[in-house]
Structure formats: structure tokens, C-alpha cells
A and B are shown apart, each in its own frame.
Chain A
């Protein structure tokens, strides 16, 4: 089975975000592969291993530093990569423009399925899977927690998370699948994997090389920080029971929730 995995490099979840104009201060940030994309890479690798055939291609839009996340994917076991390395395009890219660049890069590839994280944990938009599918003219199944493909690779039967439960959906391939936590347990890159990754081919393109020129459809005007929360009142009391009694009074009389 041939798969494409779309990944994005994002600030590590430990990052304290500082804003600057319509963006964030990128100095000092530790960049990692988007955690949801790790599930996507893992699933693609598992499908290839199960079928004992095929290849896994990483596709990523990002500036120079994005290569590190791509190498992580290659070190996990992906075979090839396309790096749409275009800082000018990336800086302005909204989900639509991102999907357009990825679609342009994917059009030249062979694939039965496209995997990606359900959202990137930077802009949290969760739009690219559906938009990419629309641009490629194939279905998107989002929030996938279980993935099985028919032996003839004609269809996939997937379980997706829905409100309050799960739905099992059958879809003909190719299709886009967005990975939710729970799909699998991503592997760590092994040391030999990391060494091998250095020699794997990475095709570097600009958005213009790929003919992706439509540009963003939404614009960030400004970034702000949430108002700082002040530490509140520590509830006094001789023992847990007294504190609980006071808390119940507060919830009743001050918060007015009980």
C-alpha cells in the first residue's frame, strides 16, 4: 500500500507562547512534529508493514527548519519526502493555502491513502484534511481511531470518533484520513533509523514550482495573550470536611452554581 503522510512542524507543547503583531515570537522555541501527525506516520508505516509492500511519502509545507520534522518521519521509517520549503508562502498560509500547496505536491505521487493529524496544535484549525480532500476530489474521513484496509486495497473500514461515541465508516480508496489520539502508539525513531533517514531522498520545492499560487483565504490581523489569571482564594479550614463545607457554601452563594 502506498501512502502519503502530511506533517507539520509545530512548537513543542511545553512552549510558553509570546505574541508579536500578527504572529508569535519564534526565538527559543523547540520545534517538533505535530503530535497528531505522529499517529498518522505510525499508521502509514503499519499499513505498509502489514501489506509487506508499498511506500510511505512524507509531504510537508514549512520553512527551512521544517526539515527536522521531516527527518523525524523518515527516521520512524517513511521512505521519501517532499518538502515544500517556502517561507514566504508558509508565513501567510491559512488552512486553505496549506491544503492547496499540499494538494499540488501530492498530485504527482502514487497513493492509496493520505494520513495526517486531525489538527496541528499550533493554529488548531483542523481544516486541512477536509480541504485537501476536496482539492484532490476524494473523500475525507476525520477523527479516525481505527483503520483497516481490504486485502485488495479497494476500500478502508475505519472507526471515527463522533460526539459521545464512535461510527464505523466504509470508504473507497484513495481517501484522506485524519488521525485522532488512540489510533495507535507511535514508535520512536531508532538510532539506525535516524542514520538511514539522513540518506533518504527529500524533494525540495517552492509553492511556485508546484503551481500553488492562490494564496490564503483568511488573514490573522493580530495576536493577543489571554488576560492573566490571578491566583484566587485559598479556602481555610481545620480539616478537609470544614474546607469542603466552605467550598459548598461558595459554590452556592458566590458562584451560584448549586
Chain B
């Protein structure tokens, strides 16, 4: 096959882990692995991609790429794709990836496969496994023509370092400014180091049993103990009550997540919520209602009042950590 082209995403001056994950996976699938890295002042990051399997990194670097604007990034990526003519295009299905991928596919006149959790090669085709109905089922999907454009959910693949250094090349790209119509007026990003729920390895989540917004502080405290890959989440009940922003919501009308550890506090486990977090590797449920459906999915259940359990858990973990 003619190889893979990857879109590498930069946030806060660093390449996203999901971009390394798809690079490692592309190497494993076989064929040449090219990466397109777009941004302002990103050239110095290119060599990192070689470590995870990139044979060649095309760098599109310039002040016009400081803020992500769909059209500018689509134009730049398409020009690199035209040069590479890959059989497969991969990107991490981050917030930005989800915006870019379908636009790129449509510009190339092909389809796209969103938010995949596994890829396997069958002949010239990559068959992608993706959750549908928020994880209530999986679809095995393949593209009818090349390039096969696929977005991969973060945390789906391990990053693997490989020997050998990839070449870095500045890509010659010219933008048609007349087509770039949207203008970013301002960006407001919360000053937090917490990862997005879809990318977090550990999520401490709260539901109706949290009783009010002020009590989420203890979930934040617990999450912090797990380090920088941990964050907090919420059930729809907690979000609809106005206790948490919608960006925290896990479930069918929120985010679908699959962290290594999901701790559900005061969450009964409605079908929509279970769909959204059912693929978590380890699930812990803390709820005083022994009949709560969440316990049917939990690897470890604590049937007790979360207002006693969570503070005790915080101090026990502090002890373990010394």
C-alpha cells in the first residue's frame, strides 16, 4: 500500500499524545508513514514524531497557523496529501481532529470514519472498529476508496518508540486566503492542566448523589491525587442540575470515554451513562443504593455514603503515596 499520512496536532506548544498513538499504529499497520505537522513555531517538534515511527514529517509552519481555522488547515493538509498520495489518512479524534477530518475527507471527495477504537488491515483495506449509539454497539467500517480517512479515539493505541530517524521537510504550501472566511476573534481556555475527559486516563465522576455543585471539590481533590492524567466528570443529572458544565458530561449526550480507571460517585447508572463509560478498563462505583444499576458494570463497588467514603479514600491514598 502507498502508506499512511497522519495529521499531527499541536496544543499549547506540544504534540498531542493521540498524534503519537496514531503514528505508532500506522507503523504497525505497515507501509511508509508520513506525518503532516501544522502550526506556528512547530518545526522544532517534528523530530519527536520520528521516535514513534514517522518516516517523513512534512512541516507547515507559519504565523497564519497560530490559531486553528478549519479552512486554512484543510487547504494546507490537502496540499501535503496531494504530494504524498497516501492510501490511508489518520488523525486523533480530538476536538480539533473531529472538526478537521470530515472537512478534509469531503475536500478530497472521499468518506471518513470517525472516532475509531481499533484498526486492522485486511488486504488493502483498513477495517475500523468504532462505537455507535454511544458505545451500546460497535460497527466494523471500511472505506470504499483511497485515501481511507480515519479518526482514532485518544487512548486507543499505545505509543511505541522505534529506532531510526525520520526525515523532516518543510512543505511548500500556498493558501487561498479568499476562501478562508472564518476569523477567530478570541480564544478563552481555562487555566487548567486537566486533560480533556476523552483523553484522560483516570476520571472521577459525580452524579445526582453529589447533592450540589460545592461537593465536586472533593472529586477534584481525589482526581488530583492521581496526577496530571486524571480529571473529573459528571452524569447528565449533575449537568442538568447546573452543578457542572456540559463539557464534563459523560454519556450519550455528553462525552464517550474509555479511561483506565473510572470512579463513579453517586451515579445510579442510567443506560445513557453506562453507554458513555462502559469501555473504561476498571470501573469503581461508590453509591449508597446497593440496587443502583452502576454496580452491575463496576469491577469494584462500595455500597456506602459517598460523603464518608470519598474523604476517607482521599486520606488513604495520601497515606499510600506517603
- The answer to the question of A50 belonging to the interface, with a C-beta cut-off of 8 Å to chain B, is no
| A169 at interface by CB-CB < 8 Å | yes
The residue that B133 contacts in the complex, of A17, A129, A233, A258, with Cβ under 8 A, is A17
Query: A170 vs B50: C-alpha distance in the bound complex, in angstroms?
Result: 37
The residue of chain B having its C-beta at the shortest distance from the C-beta of A252 within the complex is B320
Cβ–Cβ contact A124 & B115, under 8 A = yes
CB neighbors of B among A51-101 (8 A): 94-96, 99
Q: Is the CB of B106 within 8 A of A134?
A: yes
Q: From the candidates B134, B299, B317, name the one contacting A258 in the complex (CB within 8 A).
A: B317
Query: Would you give the 0/1 interface string for B280-322, flagging 1 where the beta carbon is closer than 8 Å to chain A?
Result: 0011100000100001111111111100111011001101110
B127 touches A221 (CB 8 A): yes
One of B105, B272, B308 near A127 (C-beta < 8 A): B105
- The answer to whether A11 and B196 have CB atoms under 8 Å apart is no
Q: Which residues of the other chain, A, contact B163 by a CB distance below 8 angstroms?
A: none
Residues of B within 8 A of A139 (CB): 70-71, 181-182
Find chain A residues with CB under 8 A from B196 CB. 163-164
Q: Given A140-B70, A258-B317 in contact, is the A232-B300 Cβ separation under 8 Å?
A: yes
Kindly identify which residue among B138, B252, B296, B319 contacts A225, using a CB–CB cutoff of 8 Å: B138
Contact partner, A181, options B246, B283, B305, Cβ 8 Å: B246
With A226-B138, A258-B320 as known contacts, state yes or no: A234 contacts B189, CB within 8 Å: no
Question: Does A161 lie at the interface of the complex (its beta carbon under 8 Å from any beta carbon of B)?
Answer: yes
Point out which of B107, B130, B136, B260 has the most chain A C-beta atoms below 10 A from its C-beta. B136
Fill in one digit per residue for B175-211: 1 if any A CB lies within 8 Å of its CB, else 0.
0000001111111111010101000001000000000
* Secondary structure type dominating chain A contacts: mixed
Determine if B91 is an interface residue (Cβ-Cβ < 8 Å).
Answer: no
Contact of A221 among B96, B141, B225 (CB under 8 A): B141
Given contacts A35-B253, A135-B106, A257-B202, contact A240 B312 (CB under 8 A): yes
Q: How far is the CA of A217 from the CA of B142 in the complex (A)?
A: 9
Contacts A164-B196, A243-B309; A143 near B95 (Cβ below 8 A): yes
Q: What are 18 sample pairs from A and B whose C-beta atoms fall under 8 A apart?
A: A121-B134, A124-B131, A125-B115, A127-B101, A139-B71, A139-B181, A163-B96, A171-B181, A181-B253, A181-B254, A225-B136, A231-B295, A232-B300, A240-B312, A241-B312, A251-B317, A252-B320, A258-B226
Given A94-B111, A134-B103, A164-B190, list of 6 further CB < 8 A pairs? Answer: A16-B271, A96-B111, A124-B114, A126-B102, A167-B67, A231-B298
Closest CB pairs A-B (n = 8): A217-B111, A240-B308, A244-B312, A165-B189, A248-B316, A134-B106, A127-B102, A232-B299
Q: Which residues of A does B touch, CB under 8 Å?
A: 11, 13-17, 19, 22, 24, 35-36, 94-96, 99, 121-131, 133-135, 139-143, 157, 161-172, 175, 180-182, 216-226, 229, 231-235, 239-241, 243-245, 247-252, 255, 257-258
